[in-house]
Amino acid sequence: MDQAESVRTPSSWAVVGLDNGGTCNNATVLDATGQFLVDHLVENPSRVLDGPESAVEALADAFTGILELTRTPRSLIRAVGLDTPGPASANGVISSKGATNFNHVSWHGFDIRGALEARLGLPVVYNNDGNAAALYAHHQHFGAAAAANSSVSAIVGTGLGGGVVEAGAVVRGAAGMAGELGHVQIPLHGVLEDDQPVPRCNCGFEGDVESVASLTGIKNNLLPYWLTRFPEHPLASEPISAAAKALRGYAEKDDAMALAVFGQQAKAIGKLFTIAANFTDPAAYFLGGGVVEAAPHFRQWFLNTVRESTSLRDEQKAVATFALVPDRDMAGSRGAAVAALNAVIAG
């Protein structure tokens, strides 16, 4: 665990937020006044590849470690917020077909929320990682007015996650699968070149947002096409997976091919936000994930392109905000903690 320079024990009660990833867990503590007791990333190995038993124990270690780091007595903890990558049910049961980080058969249909709750002996509140980041972005942006506002977030990573927040709470849906924004199919006019093949998603859909706006979309769909337009590009000699990961570095240097690829991603997200504008009419549109980790001039260019590609009515333009998800890698654990805090307050 990382060491904090200055911490304080909450005067009343608190909750813990745990963000589970393919490599690491990230943990935080949020007190009853809405103050985070950690201002930096605190990680430990997630051990998800070792199976459910090891992974749950690693989450328990993250819980214990963050309490020790912040000198927070366990007796003050009312609940734990947990987020993981999906797909999973609203109650934290991993898909029966597994998931990206949970592909071993022992994970299929595993109740990770229930297992952690039993291990810790505390209530555990579950969200997928996209929803957790969306919830944090919403509450950080709106503050005390969070419950009076709505937002939509797109989180660009290996896939495209996100979330819809209405009146300060994540919209879950009947089966817990609301906010799966990556699999919303979008009109491709104005996104693709005239001779560009229709992109296909790993989920089986054609022309959904994730097939364009994700690392997987770059690798499977966008980069193979653009390399035919730039055959002398340095990435043409690289394996496609390595080239896809390296592309953002080229975009930060204003490389023409890289900007063409990321421009298509931004336009696709703009199409998604246009659908959201006509469906939920949110007060804010948030963008997170890998593009937020980039050089400031590039991420601002990307956000501007998303904004310019989102068709809003004049009335919507007057009140809507476009912003980046704050605090980057900490957004998941902080959103998980916010969800836990809200659950305790709601009783």
At 105 the three-state DSSP class reads helix
* In contact, 301 and 253? CB cutoff 8 Å: no
CA nearest neighbour of 42 among 76, 77, 7, 10: 7
Least Cα distance to 70 among 23, 2, 125, 123 occurs for 2
What pLDDT score was predicted for residue 246? 97
pLDDT at 3: 46
> How confident is residue 80, by pLDDT bands cut at 50, 70 and 90?
very high
pTM, full prediction: 0.90
For residue 5, give Cα distances in angstroms to 9, 61, 64.
14, 21, 18
Note the pLDDT of residue 4: 44
The three-class DSSP label of residue 347 is coil
**Predicted local confidence at residue 202, as pLDDT:** 85
Whole-number Å distance between alpha carbons of 16 and 339: 10
pLDDT higher than threshold 60 for residue 5: no
Confidence of residue 248 (pLDDT cuts 50, 70, 90): very high
CB 86 within 8 A of CB 129: yes
Q: Following DSSP, what letter does each residue of 205-241 receive, concatenated?
A: -BSBGGGTSSHHHIIIIIHHHHHHH-TTSGGGGS-HH
User: Is 83's pLDDT higher than 90?
Assistant: yes
H and E: helices and strands count for the chain: 10, 10
Q: How confident is the model at residue 292 (pLDDT cuts 50, 70, 90)?
A: confident
Percent of the chain with pLDDT over 70: 97
The total of other beta-carbon atoms located within 10 Å of residue 13's CB is 15
Contacts of 189 (CB under 8 A, 6+ apart): none
Q: Determine the average pLDDT of the residues in 40-49.
A: 94
Tell which residue, 98, 76, 72, has the closest CA to residue 87.
98
In which element (H, E) is residue 16 found?
A: strand 14-20
